[in-house]
Amino acid sequence: MTDTGKIVVLITTSSPVEAENIANLLLENRKAACVNIIPGVRSAFWWQGKIDNAEESLLLIKTRADLFPDLMDIVKQAHSYTVPEIIALPIITGNPDYLSWIDTETKQ
């Protein structure tokens, strides 16, 4: 398998409204080809020395790897969390037509 140059970015948000706002910013700025919003995610995590939990929305973002720095800057400016989860996973293979579509939709 080869490096496709595409990634899936996972971001949790405090609410569906915040998730939609961030999704729209990324799409409008052509930093994402597609954003799935999954509301009602229950998260448990360490925060400030203790275990905490929250109901969040999860964004699954399909984009190009070279756009990650710009994507992260946009998210950090729009996000309500002090330390937002913004992690990228490589897409190692996939439908060539879909991968090409990601390229097309993220070029300005």
Q: Is residue 33 part of a domain?
A: yes
Q: Residue 85 belongs to a domain with what CATH number?
A: 3.30.70.120
**pLDDT per residue rounded down to tens, the chain (108 residues):** 678 999 999 999 999 999 999 999 999 999 999 999 999 999 999 999 999 999 999 999 999 999 999 999 999 999 999 999 999 999 999 999 999 999 999 987
The answer as to whether 47 is a domain residue is yes
d(CA 84, CA 87) in angstroms, rounded, equals 9
| Residue 89: inside a domain | yes
Number of separate domains in the chain: 1
Residue type, 87: I
Separation of alpha carbons 107 and 99, rounded Å: 13
Range of the domain at 28: 6-105
pLDDT for the residue numbered 69: 98
With respect to residue 1, please indicate whether it lies within any of the assigned structural domains. Answer: no
**If we measure between CA atoms, which residue out of 102, 104, 3, 22 comes closest to residue 62?**
102
Supply the pTM of this predicted model: 0.95
